[in-house]
Chain A
Amino acid sequence: MSDANPAEMPERARIDHDQVKPRRDSRRRGRGEELQVPEAEFRSYYGRPIIKAPVWKNPDVPLYLFLGGLAGSSSVLAAMARATDRPTLRRAGRLAAAGGAVGGTVFLVHDLHRPARFLHMLRVLKPTSPLSVGTWILSPFATFAAATAATELTGWFRRTGDVTGVAAAAIGPALATYTAVLFSNTAVPVWHEAHRHMPILFGASAAAAGGGAGLVFASVRDNEPAARLAIAGAAVELAIDEKMQHDLGMLSDVYDKGRARTLMRASKTCLVAGALGALVGRRRRWSAALSGLALMAGSALTRFGVFDAGIASANDPAHIVVPQRERLRQRQETTNTPSDRTTPSDRAFA
């Protein structure tokens, strides 16, 4: 069969399932971290993945996550800049909000395998489906943000633009954080098990992106709130990323290898450099712009890294079997009942 992510599929080598595979070196232990799940032997069906990796397209979906975050926080920045009379920051925020929302919508539609049916997304509103809820967040947001940007650019209907700008700002933060639910509400272990961290990670990443855009496009006279927001976002993002990887235990190995590792490292470098640059250099136009670019890049790289880590996690049967076995073992310990008839204890393999 044709797998949608052929490049991501592990090599279809013949693996003797009886062979006990000692997995995972002592990686991460050097940092004195406790593994939640003991490094375990596990069995699988020829080493094949158990769940299907997302068929979402790369870069469409990670870029959409980034643009949604950028747009969401920028809309609030713009509305606040309007209220506090910072015209260049207002303009930067409005344009970033509209650009992010429209660009994100394009990527989201392009990601569909039947893009002509994108309007089917609006057939229903299902609170059980984060993608449905997200569509109903994105659609009004994009409408308001685009209208606001149009009034900003043309100078027509400025009052209306102020109102739609506030409306977009009211929805914006939800656009920035719902994407965490979108990813967490899957069976992908490294996403699902991080469902307490991902909203904060994505929200902080959105703050870094929106603040970064403000630093790039607003004048130094107006950019102080953007710098503050971006620095705070970068700091929280760096911290929650550490916490997330720690709490993920053995699942975090996908962040420690391959492209996800490279992306997350690049993201951290960009965020640190951008935050420091914003701290000391926001008063100079060029250094403010460079810092803003670094912060936006750091935010985007985080999304790409999280996306890649999820693909790797879904393709690794150990990510399914080992934690679920551990869960079963713990449940059996707590209930301490002899296994009932339908789920006999697994006998030691001869």
Chain B
Amino acid sequence: MTNVFEAFSGETPSLSGLLPDPTTDAGWSGDHPKRVGFFTDTSVCIGCKACEVACKEWNLVPDDGTDASDLYRLTGMSYDNTGDLGASTWRHVAFIEDVRPHGTATTGHMPSGLPAITGGAPTRDAATPPPGGGTVDLLALLPDGASGATGGGIVGAHGQQTPDDERDVRWLMASDVCKHCTHAGCLDNCPTGALFRTEFGTVVVQDDICNGCGYCVPSCPYGVIDVRESDGGAHKCTLCYDRLGEGLEPACAKACPTNSIQFGDLDELQAAADARLAELHGRGVEEARLYGRDPDDGVGGDGAFFLLLDEPEVYGLPPDPIVTTRDLPEMWRNAALTAVGLGAAVVAAFWRGRK
């Protein structure tokens, strides 16, 4: 912010609220590049994890595990053996097997232009033969119109569907990443200045400054940044700051085969996202919603925002994050008043004391 004291008088919205240009607010001159970001359209994510791999390779992010026993950790969480974002995981693909009783699911169309046969074969447990035995008619699994034989039997939920006889299975896959918030709690709370706002409006840790105090870790309302045990520093997605400087797009967006991860100027991404949402709603995909898109949400909008097909918490995202510094001016006032009160209490304790 240009003047730290203004932030405490409530005159500038630097700690929370609408902020059209966080880059200038952070002290960059007016001719800085436009703010960039990610629009992650999860409706076309196929869960290939190319983004995770590309991120690791480009940024030389080490293995998540610290010992051999951790190396092949299986979480039991569908195909997600990454778990969550962290110091050594800057892209994380979530997998949700959304199982609903057959026929109770909402109707509609596949949310993407992708063919709806991604499941291919029914994902019954391998040990469970189809009811009545015999083989599965794969053609019958194709969506409406694709084979004349569906008879309305396949009206699954949206997402990558794998229907079977008793239940509809909807696959939700989403590549999570640092949100590069307009009001970044990690950045404002960092005591050393290691976290800073780049000229592209992104939030980056300077590893040579970070002293591993860990204050950014609980400051993030999304649980993104973490301290790496091996080197003691805090790490998170840089939105490939080094590539941006060379005019390249971030590694994850480059690697994404379905364009689920879109990189670009934030205003253009927002327009694209709005159009995509309108398109999906027009097709009857009512559960599509944008997450982190609104510039007047609790963090002033995200630089990396998402199109989701279910509630955010299903993907491990907080439904209504608010930057912690929104209440900081009040906290400082309360602490100052209490400090005065404590001093007065000590002085009062000496009142008419007998010796």
Contact = CB atoms under 8 A, between A and B. Distances in A.
Interface of A: 1-4, 12-14, 17-18, 42-46, 48-56, 72-73, 76-77, 80-81, 84, 86, 111-115, 117-118, 120-121, 123-124, 126-132, 135, 169, 172-174, 176-178, 180-181, 184-188, 192, 195-196, 199-200, 202-203, 206-207, 210-211, 221-222, 224-226, 228-229, 232-233, 310, 314, 317, 320-321, 324-325, 327-328, 341-344, 346-347, 350
18 contacts: A1-B226, A12-B76, A42-B313, A55-B214, A77-B349, A117-B211, A120-B211, A121-B191, A130-B328, A131-B191, A131-B215, A186-B219, A211-B349, A232-B345, A314-B218, A321-B313, A324-B321, A327-B320
Given A51-B223, A113-B214, A181-B335, A84 B318 contact: no
Contact of A2 (B4, B15, B65, B320): B65
B226 A55 contact: yes
Contact of A200 (B64, B104, B338): B338
Contacts of A177: 335-336, 338-339, 342
A86 B350 CA distance: 10
A120 B328 contact: no
Given A48-B83, A184-B327, A199-B334, A350 B100 contact: yes
B48 interface: no
A54 B212 CA distance: 12
B-side interface size class: 35 or more
A112 B314 contact: no
A348 to B, nearest CB: 10
Contacts of A46: 75, 77, 316
Contacts of A43: 311, 313-314
B201 interface: no
Interface of B: 1, 4-5, 7-8, 15, 64-66, 70, 75-77, 82-84, 86-89, 94, 96, 98-101, 104-106, 157, 185, 188-194, 209-215, 217-227, 229, 231-233, 274, 277-278, 281, 286-290, 293-294, 311, 313-321, 324-325, 327-328, 330-332, 334-343, 345-350, 353-355
A90 to B, nearest CB: 12
A328 B320 contact: yes
B190 A55 contact: no
Contacts of B99: 18
B214 A225 contact: no
A50 B106 contact: no
Nearest to B311: A346
The 4 closest A-B pairs by CB, nearest first: A113-B212, A45-B316, A113-B232, A1-B64
Contacts of A310: 218
A2 B231 CA distance: 12
A68 to B, nearest CB: 12
Given A128-B188, A177-B335, A206-B342, A112 B212 contact: yes
Contacts of B5: 127
A60 B150 CA distance: 64
A44 B157 CA distance: 19
Given A73-B342, A185-B324, A187-B220, A128 B335 contact: no
A232 to B, nearest CB: 6
Contacts of B219: 185-187
Contacts of A321: 313, 318-319
A200 B331 CA distance: 11
B105 A111 contact: no
A76 B341 CA distance: 12
A206 B101 CA distance: 58
A120 B277 CA distance: 46
A18 B98 contact: yes
Contact of A114 (B84, B212, B293, B346): B212
A203 B339 contact: yes
Nearest to B293: A342
Given A2-B65, A54-B214, A185-B331, A207 B320 contact: no
A124 to B, nearest CB: 4
A130 B287 contact: no
Contact of A173 (B7, B192, B214, B340): B340
Contacts of B217: 4, 52-55
A180 B335 contact: yes
Given A52-B226, A131-B189, A328-B320, A192 B289 contact: no
Contact of B84 (A48, A195, A200, A225): A48
Contact of A127 (B4, B96, B316): B4
Given A124-B193, A325-B313, A347-B286, 18 more contacts: A44-B314, A45-B315, A51-B220, A52-B218, A55-B227, A80-B347, A86-B355, A114-B210, A114-B233, A126-B193, A127-B332, A132-B191, A178-B335, A181-B328, A185-B189, A186-B219, A188-B218, A310-B218
A153 B318 CA distance: 54
Contacts of A113: 211-214, 227, 232-233
A320 B318 contact: yes
Nearest to A178: B335
A120 B209 contact: yes
B64 A192 contact: no
Contacts of A187: 185, 218-221, 223, 321, 324
A17 B337 CA distance: 45
A112 B221 CA distance: 22
Nearest to A93: B346
Nearest to A78: B346
B182 to A, nearest CB: 14
Given A43-B313, A177-B342, A187-B219, A1 B325 contact: no
A211 B345 CA distance: 11
Contacts of A181: 328, 331-332, 334-335
A257 to B, nearest CB: 20
A114 B342 contact: no
